[in-house]
Structure 1
Amino acid sequence: MTFATGKHALITGGGTGIGAGAARALAAAGAHVSLLGRRREPLEAVAAETGGRAIVCDVTDPEAQARAFAEAREAFGPLDYVILNAGIGDSRPFLRTSRESWNAIIATNLTALFDGAQLALPDLQAASKRLVIVASVAGLKGGAMAAPYVASKHGAVGLTRSLALEFARTGLTVNAICPSFVDTPMVDDSAARIAGATGKSVEEARALLARTNGNGRLITVDEVTHAIMQLLHPQASGVNGACVTIDGGTSA
Structure 2
Amino acid sequence: MAETPLAGRHALITGGGTGIGAAAAGHLSAAGAKLSLLGRRIEPLQAVSELHGGAVIQCDVTDPSRVAAAFDEARAANGPIDLLVVNAGIAESAPFHKMTRESWDRIIATNLTAAFDCTRAAIGDLLKSDNGRLVLVASVASLRGVPYAAHYAASKHGLLGLMRSLAGEYAKTSLTVNAVCPGYVDTPMTDQSVARVSQITGRSEGDARSAITNMNASGRLVDPEAIGNVIAMLCLPLSRDINGAAVTIDGGTAA
> TM-score by structure 2 length?
0.97
Q: Is 2:206 the partner of 1:207?
A: no
The 3-state SS of whatever aligns with 1:148 is: helix
CA–CA separation in structure 2 for the residues paired with 1:78 and 1:194: 42
Residue among 68, 79, 82 paired with 2:81: 79
Q: CA deviation at 1:127?
A: 3.3
Tell me which stretches of 4 or more aligned residues in structure 1 moved more than 6 Å: none
Residue among 239, 244, 247 paired with 1:241: 244
The residue correspondences of 1:175-190 to structure 2 (distance < 5 A) are 175-190=178-193
Matched-pair identity in %: 56
**Alignment-derived partner of residue 66 in structure 1:** 68
**Aligned partner letter, 1:87:** G
Q: Is 2:15 the partner of 1:30?
A: no
Query: 1:8-49 CA distances to partner (integer Å, 9 max, x unpaired)?
Result: 100000000000000111111111100010001111111121
CA–CA separation in structure 2 for the residues paired with 1:30 and 1:127: 16
Residue among 164, 167, 170 paired with 1:164: 167
Q: CA deviation at 1:6?
A: 1.5
Q: CA deviation at 1:204?
A: 2.3
The 3-state SS of whatever aligns with 1:169 is: coil
Query: 1:56-105 CA distances to partner (integer Å, 9 max, x unpaired)?
Result: 00000000011100000000000110000000001110010000000000
CA–CA separation in structure 1 for the residues paired with 2:253 and 2:107: 24
CA–CA separation in structure 1 for the residues paired with 2:251 and 2:35: 29
The 3-state SS of whatever aligns with 1:181 is: coil
CA–CA separation in structure 1 for the residues paired with 2:104 and 2:200: 20
**Alignment-derived partner of residue 94 in structure 2:** 92
The 3-state SS of whatever aligns with 1:170 is: coil
**Aligned partner letter, 2:221:** L
**Alignment-derived partner of residue 115 in structure 1:** 117
Q: CA deviation at 1:128?
A: 1.6
Residue among 136, 141, 148 paired with 1:138: 141
Number of equivalences: 252
Query: 1:131-151 CA distances to partner (integer Å, 9 max, x unpaired)?
Result: 000000101111211000000
> TM-score by structure 1 length?
0.98
**Alignment-derived partner of residue 5 in structure 2:** 3
Q: CA deviation at 1:199?
A: 2.9
The two structures, once aligned, show a CA RMSD in angstroms of 0.9
Stretches of structure 1 lacking an aligned partner (at least 5 in a row): none
CA–CA separation in structure 1 for the residues paired with 2:206 and 2:46: 29
Stretches of structure 2 lacking an aligned partner (at least 5 in a row): none
The residue correspondences of 1:193-204 to structure 2 (distance < 5 A) are 193-204=196-207
**Alignment-derived partner of residue 12 in structure 1:** 14
CA–CA separation in structure 2 for the residues paired with 1:25 and 1:226: 6
Query: 1:148-170 CA distances to partner (integer Å, 9 max, x unpaired)?
Result: 00000000000000001111111
The 3-state SS of whatever aligns with 2:145 is: coil
**Aligned partner letter, 1:45:** A
Q: Is 2:76 the partner of 1:44?
A: no
The 3-state SS of whatever aligns with 1:188 is: helix
Query: 1:106-137 CA distances to partner (integer Å, 9 max, x unpaired)?
Result: 00000001101111110011432100000001
**Aligned partner letter, 2:123:** L
